[in-house]
């Protein structure tokens, strides 16, 4: 007999870090016989987002795409609110009621809504109204999820902010160093903290919480979440990752052909994600550090948060003599690259990363050791956990609210440490084997996603 195939609405929030896992999940759902409607805000902050949405739709013609308008963003004098992505998160969160007519008139009728945490509050109301379940999709680590769930308690207890505290106790998890806590949360009036806090209240109403992680990688944290220790009325936390990249083959870049000519595991890949720009001084210092390390490198440079605003050329930024000096050992680009393909290339032996969660899961899947250099947001929490899991090393005094310039000598030494440590390399390979086991047919992540789909049929 025929079981009907579920129709799922997929609703990401802003920025490549949130969009990417949703598109990967949508692609996975299609491959498991679901129909998918993708809902996105009418204008995106970055060019990368709009390009990826268009390309995804072109290569997945069965996906229905609906756009919703954004109500005008809040004008705020608060300087921390100027981050364009925080403004967009907040605008999407406050525009989510515009989804109601789109979702209720959907044909065939929807079986479920899979949404980002940052729109959860409104989505919970809509799903209750339409009598369909909603599932949360967490685009960060399970450990950062437990921190977010603990946030309301954290911000309502100002003693936790005492300047001499070195860590906070999260029920069921190991203590979190204060230095890993994102700055916006130490200032609950920040737009990002406000948006997250506004949406946390409906978490218990979700049918389940999918996390782009895998059981082996965060076993203790996932167990604590599922044992009711973090929050007693929490729905099941379902690790479904690492979500696999879909084909993005419009890649004209020189990176892959260049990698083809490099020896196995000899190249360190350097990228700080889609929305993190270091100061120009730090960028130069990093360049000299890469040079000093003597290693081969592939380096993606970013000088502004939003891609539309990139100005300086590499020559202006780094100088022609630098570029000339390193040209046989290093490739430096200032463009979007296919990171997933790069990390899968046999020439890559290490990754200097800001520890955005997608980057961490991509490196985990390929067993590539990370030199963690977290700068803001969930990155410090992610850096700490990947080090504990054996995927990398972390020099805690770099970044995360610490404005001091990290000098080239130190950077050079750390890179050598990353690339020469055989034990680290074998621990990272083990992470890779476990990650791939999880997503194989019958693996823990595969079973979790199949369970959700079966529940909807
Ligand atoms: Br830059 C860049 N190519 O050139 P994260 C990024 N990516 O494929 P972020 C490319 O974008 P948040 C590039 O592989 C990853 O899937 C990368 O997400 C890809 O960091 C994604 O790693 C970036 O989570 O987002 O961009 O800082 O702040 O939300 O973590």
Q: Which of 10-14, 93-97, 223-227, 420-424 has the lowest mean pLDDT?
A: 93-97
What span, in angstroms and rounded, lies between the C-alpha atoms of 122 and 131?
Answer: 14
Q: Which residue has the tokens 């004008």?
A: 75
Residue 159 is predicted with a pLDDT of 66
How far away, in angstroms, is 360 Cα from ligand 1 center?
A: 10
Check whether the bond before 242 is cis (ω within 30° of 0).
yes
User: Ligand 1: does its nearest atom lie under 6 Å from the Cβ of 276?
Assistant: yes
How far away, in angstroms, is 39 Cα from ligand 1 center?
A: 20
323, HSE (Cβ side, Cα atoms, 13 Å): 11
User: Ligand 1: does its nearest atom lie under 6 Å from the Cβ of 399?
Assistant: no
Decide if 116 is catalytic.
Answer: yes
Residue 138 pairs in a beta bridge with 211
How far away, in angstroms, is 141 Cα from ligand 1 center?
A: 15
The ipTM is: 0.98
User: What is the percent of the chain with per-residue pLDDT over 90, rounded to a whole number?
Assistant: 74
Looking at per-residue confidence, does 437 or 231 come out higher?
437
> Quick one: pLDDT band at residue 94, thresholds 50, 70, 90?
confident
Mutate which of 274, 276, 305, 379 for ligand 1? The one with the most ligand atoms within 8 Å of its CB, which is 274
What would the two tokens of residue 366 be? 């390929």
The answer to whether the beta carbons of residues 380 and 401 sit under 8 Å apart is: no
Residue 2 is predicted with a pLDDT of 45
Q: What is the pTM of this model?
A: 0.95
Which pairing describes strands 35-41 and 64-68: parallel, antiparallel, or unpaired? parallel
Residue 180 is predicted with a pLDDT of 86
Over residues 118-147, the pLDDT tens digits come to: 999 999 999 999 999 999 999 999 999 999
Residue 162 is predicted with a pLDDT of 59
Residue 168 is predicted with a pLDDT of 83
* Residues 6+ positions from 228 with CB-CB distance below 8 Å: 234
Q: Which of 28-42, 74-88, 290-304, 332-346 has the lowest mean pLDDT?
A: 74-88
- State the CB neighbour count (10 A cutoff) for residue 247: 10
Over residues 411-456, the pLDDT tens digits come to: 999 999 999 999 999 999 999 999 999 999 999 999 999 999 999 9
3-state secondary structure of 381: helix
Residue 249 is predicted with a pLDDT of 64
How far away, in angstroms, is 16 Cα from ligand 1 center?
A: 6
Residue 251 is predicted with a pLDDT of 63
What would the mean pLDDT of 278-298 be, rounded to a whole number?
97
Q: Which of 7, 52, 83, 116 is catalytic?
A: 116
* Residues 6+ positions from 124 with CB-CB distance below 8 Å: 134, 202, 205, 206
Q: Which residue has the tokens 């007519």?
A: 101
User: What is the percent of the chain with per-residue pLDDT over 70, rounded to a whole number?
Assistant: 95
Of 389, 334, 378, which is closest to residue 356 (Cα–Cα)? 378
What span, in angstroms and rounded, lies between the C-alpha atoms of 299 and 405?
Answer: 19
| 3-state SS string for 392-403 | EEECCCCECCEC
Q: Which of 7, 18, 60, 354 is catalytic?
A: 18
Q: Which of 174-178, 227-231, 376-380 has the lowest mean pLDDT?
A: 174-178
Decide if 97 is catalytic.
Answer: no
What span, in angstroms and rounded, lies between the C-alpha atoms of 302 and 273?
Answer: 9
pLDDT of 1 strictly over 50? no
pLDDT of 342 strictly over 80? yes
Q: Which of 173-182, 258-267, 422-431 has the lowest mean pLDDT?
A: 173-182
């Amino acid at each position: 007999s025929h079981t009907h195939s579920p129709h799922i609405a997929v609703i990401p929030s802003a920025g490549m870090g949130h969009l990417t896992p949703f598109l990967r999940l949508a692609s996975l759902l299609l491959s498991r016989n679901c129909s998918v409607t993708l809902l996105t805000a009418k204008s995106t902050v970055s060019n990368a987002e709009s390009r990826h949405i268009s390309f995804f739709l072109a290569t997945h013609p069965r996906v229905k795409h609906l756009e919703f308008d954004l109500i005008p963003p809040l004008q705020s004098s608060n300087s921390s609110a100027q981050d364009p992505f925080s403004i967009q998160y907040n605008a999407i969160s406050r525009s989510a009621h515009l989804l109601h007519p789109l979702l209720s008139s959907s044909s065939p009728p929807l079986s479920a809504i899979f949404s980002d945490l940052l729109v959860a509050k409104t989505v919970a109301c809509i799903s209750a109204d339409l009598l369909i379940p909603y599932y949360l999709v967490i685009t960060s680590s399970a450990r950062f999820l437990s921190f977010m769930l603990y946030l309301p308690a954290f911000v309502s207890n100002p003693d936790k902010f005492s300047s001499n505290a070195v860590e906070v106790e999260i029920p069921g998890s190991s203590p979190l160093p204060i230095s890993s806590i994102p700055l916006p949360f130490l200032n609950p009036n920040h737009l990002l903290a406000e948006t997250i806090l506004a949406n946390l209240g409906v978490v218990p109403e979700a049918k389940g919480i999918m996390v782009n992680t895998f059981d082996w990688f965060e076993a203790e944290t996932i167990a604590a979440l599922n044992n009711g220790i973090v929050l007693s009325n929490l729905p099941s936390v379902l690790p479904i990752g690492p979500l696999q990249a879909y084909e993005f083959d419009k890649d004209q870049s020189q990176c892959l052909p260049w990698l083809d000519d490099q020896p196995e595991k000899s190249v360190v890949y350097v990228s700080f994600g889609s929305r993190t720009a270091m100061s120009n001084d730090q960028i130069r210092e990093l360049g000299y550090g890469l040079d000093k390390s003597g290693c081969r490198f592939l380096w993606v440079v970013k000088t502004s948060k939003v891609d539309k605003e990139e100005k300086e050329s590499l020559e202006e930024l780094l100088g022609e003599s630098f570029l000339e000096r390193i040209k046989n050992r290093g490739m430096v680009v200032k463009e979007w690259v296919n990171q997933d393909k790069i990390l899968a290339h046999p020439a890559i032996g290490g990754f200097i990363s800001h520890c955005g969660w997608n980057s961490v899961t991509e490196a985990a899947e390929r067993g590539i050791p990370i030199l963690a250099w977290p700068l803001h947001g969930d990155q410090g929490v992610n850096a700490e956990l990947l080090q504990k899991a054996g995927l990398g090393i972390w020099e805690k005094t770099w970044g995360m609210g610490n404005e001091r310039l990290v000098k080239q000598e130190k950077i050079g030494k750390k890179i050598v440490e990353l690339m020469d440590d055989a034990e680290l390399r074998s621990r990272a390979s083990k992470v890779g084997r476990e990650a791939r086991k999880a997503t194989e047919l019958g693996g823990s992540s595969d079973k979790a996603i199949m369970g959700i789909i079966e529940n909807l049929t």
